[in-house]
Amino acid sequence: MSEDNGQVEPPFEEERHGGKYLLGGMAAAAVILLTLHGSQTVDGSKVSGNLEVGWWAEPGLSPAVFLVLTVLASVAGFFAATRETIDWDEVAGEYGRVAILSGCMIATVFLLKIIGFALSILVFAAVVAFIAGFRGVRLVVIAFAASASMVLIFRVGFSVWFPRPELFKLIDMPFWLQGVL
Amino acid sequence: MIDTIVLGLQQLGDPMVWIALVGGSILGIILGAIPGIGPGVGIALLLPITYSMEPLAGITLLMGLYAAGWYGGAIPAITINTPGTGVNVLTTYDGYPMAKGGEPQRALSLAYASSFVGGVFAVIVLMVAAWPIASLSRHLTSIDLGMAALLAMVLVVVAHRGSELASFALLGAGLFISTIGLETAYGSARYTFDTTWMLAGVPLIAVILGLFAIGQAFTLIFSDRQIEASDTEMKRGLLGGFVEVFKYPRTLFRSAGFGVAMGVLPGVGEFLAQFFAYTTARATSKTPEKFGKGAPEGIIASETANNAVPPAALVPLLALGIPGESFTAMMLTVFTIHGIDPGPTLFQDNREFVAGLYMTLLAMNVVIVLLLLAGTRWIAKLSSIPDRLLGVIILCLALVGSYSTNYRLTDTIIALAFGVLGFALRRANIPMVPIILGLVLGPIMERYFRQGVGAAGGDLSVFVSRPISLAFLILIVALVALAIRNAIVGRKRGPADVSG
């Protein structure tokens, strides 16, 4: 189980939060997916040109079994768990920040195609560092260091390709530099 | 055996293997030495890169991270009483008191030497045991192998005591997610919602990056934890432990044995290995009263046991193609990408790879120890890096990793969705291993069961007509019954926080 087993007794034990609701959410999602089973799996006889296939080869069998397992275990877990007192304002704050970070990541993927790898990472690192609480000179240093490191690791070190950004079509820049930035 | 060693040494001639070996070891030590990070994040981040490497170099990089992480985790455990990873918890019991007593070098040296002996011992066991087990597995039918995969998953779930129901739910979710996409036997789409990008299924790399890296980054970015740097004066003298450990041969080799046994068993791993090794060492010691106050046997027991696990965990992966925990599950994806089929044929079709792997694992332990001997003074300072800064760095790496694998926005979105799930699971202290194992083992199990039941014309008695599958079935039923009983007993005593 490796490191994950450490979660049974982690070095920085914190209170458990939201497990009951997480399991409840999983159960609800699994039930919804089960109701869609008929439309989201096509039976073997249809896909194989009306050839007779056994029940064991029906494409919908495994998803149904696994979803039923998820529903049973998560419902049991939900009812077996203790009632939790949740500070919903705190939870909303935390997940709100997670949502903002997620939005930044998605926006950065779009930015990659417009301003290029190095600048996108610079902007992304600056925003994330700001959300993490860094300000002033530290924020600037972290953003530039992160961008430079990413360029060195991925563009120079591993030669990872990225699409040519729109910005570079407007600027006269050496080809090798375009490949790095 | 000598042929294998010679063949393996030839594979070490590849400079890429050495780059992966040293690079993975350095990264593993660093990630292990920073409390709260661990090698899992590094493996998740580097997994996409390994897909473009030669298989031996790719696996070496991941194994370097995996093994070196546990070595590095001992440093903050000893110097600042804060284990670098969950598997170094028991090292704090005697390592820190010994360091506080003015012998930090002795404690670190004992930890390095014990880890080295545990690691090398387990590699030797791997070399000796994997091939015979693989040979035996040739006599297994599809049903036997499917049941072995199922048993591995059930063992992992049951190992998470106190979270069995949540683990079962996550296992089910992982298994379900593995079925999404174009089903290969009949070419039918399952839960693709009429989209083309989902036909290829949920990308495992995005799931791993999300759960392990992005979820961890979210947690770290909002952390207020700040660990003071160690003020322990590091002088010379880190070699003494390599002689001293052999003054306790029983503790040393018994702990290595625990590590190997727990590593081979799916779902058990380092945590229980060090626990069993430590408690046994204390129970059999002539001076049990010294445990917890700086006993060398305490350090030897926990560090030998946890470092014997990574090579031993490769035994079921190489011999049967069945990973027993999340890191070897991630490694299985590297095998799959390169068309290497773990199991009995691996030892015939890819002899060079297997021999090379054995030798790199042995070399790895030497390289890690040399790196630690040279760099402990600086590595000890790493624990003071603020969590929030680590979170920023990991998120940047995860962003690039998730997008650059297929250059699809959807991969990044999937990684983010699993990142949020990983964050929520960490907050709820629910293990993530079951979902990964479900994802990796789901298709394997489905394929074996389809083949086996199909060959029997749909006759379900095939599960009980062969002794091996029957034995596996009995074990699975017993383990599930045990898990349910534990959940009910736990509920009666006082309901568990999450899942009974």
B39: which chain A residues are within 8 Å (Cβ-Cβ)? 3
Kindly report, residue by residue over B376-390, the tens digit of the pLDDT. 888 888 777 888 998
Kindly report, residue by residue over B237-277, the tens digit of the pLDDT. 788 899 999 999 999 999 999 899 888 877 666 777 888 89
Tell me what the mean pLDDT of segment B148-167 comes to. Answer: 84
Kindly report, residue by residue over B105-116, the tens digit of the pLDDT. 999 999 999 999
* DSSP conformational letter for A51: -
For residues B349 and B344, give the distance between their C-alpha atoms in angstroms, rounded to a whole number. Answer: 9
Domain membership of residue B498 (yes or no) is no
Q: How many domains does chain B have?
A: 1
Kindly report, residue by residue over A67-117, the tens digit of the pLDDT. 999 999 999 989 888 777 778 888 888 899 999 999 999 999 999 989 999
For residues B425 and B218, give the distance between their C-alpha atoms in angstroms, rounded to a whole number. Answer: 12
Domain ranges of chain A: 2-80, 89-180
Lowest-pLDDT range, A174-178, B329-333, B460-464, B492-496? B492-496
Kindly report, residue by residue over B43-59, the tens digit of the pLDDT. 888 888 888 888 899 99
Domain membership of residue B198 (yes or no) is yes
For residues A96 and A86, give the distance between their C-alpha atoms in angstroms, rounded to a whole number. Answer: 16
Tell me what the mean pLDDT of segment B280-290 comes to. Answer: 90
Give ipTM to 2 decimals: 0.88
Question: What CA–CA distances, in Å, run from A16 to A2, A20, A44?
Answer: 21, 10, 44
For residues B495 and B500, give the distance between their C-alpha atoms in angstroms, rounded to a whole number. Answer: 6
Q: Do B66 and A2 touch (CB under 8 A)?
A: yes
Helix B467-493 with B142-159: angle, nearest 10 deg: 20
> In chain B, what percentage of residues exceed pLDDT 70?
95
Domain membership of residue B453 (yes or no) is yes
* DSSP conformational letter for B181: E
Domain membership of residue B360 (yes or no) is yes
Scan residues 188-247 of B and list those with Cβ closer than 8 Å to A: 188-193, 218, 221-222, 225
Q: What is the pLDDT of residue A1?
A: 43
For residues B308 and B126, give the distance between their C-alpha atoms in angstroms, rounded to a whole number. Answer: 10
For residues B243 and B109, give the distance between their C-alpha atoms in angstroms, rounded to a whole number. Answer: 10
Q: Which of B399, B414, B492 should one mutate to test binding to chain A, selecting the residue with the greatest count of A CBs within 10 A?
A: B399
DSSP A100-145: HHHHHHHHHHHHHHHH-HHHHHHHHHHHHHHHTT--HHHHHHHHHH
Q: Does B392 touch chain A (CB under 8 A)?
A: yes
Q: What is the pLDDT of residue B145?
A: 87
- Domain range enclosing B310: 2-493
Find out whether B206 and B405 touch, Cβ atoms under 8 Å: yes
Domain membership of residue B499 (yes or no) is no
Q: Does A14 touch chain B (CB under 8 A)?
A: yes
Question: What CA–CA distances, in Å, run from B43 to A3, A100, B23, B69, B483?
Answer: 12, 26, 12, 10, 30
Q: Does B36 touch chain A (CB under 8 A)?
A: yes
B294 Rama class: left (phi>0) / alpha (psi -120 to 50) / beta: left
Residue of B nearest to A71 (CA): B169
Residue of B nearest to A110 (CA): B409
Predicted structure pTM score: 0.84
Find out whether B192 and A39 touch, Cβ atoms under 8 Å: no
Q: Using pLDDT thresholds of 50, 70 and 90, give the confidence band for residue B498.
A: very low
What are φ and ψ of residue B186, in 5° steps? -120, 0
Among residues A155, A18, A145, the alpha carbon closest in space to that of A86 is found at A18
- Write down the mean pLDDT value for chain B: 87
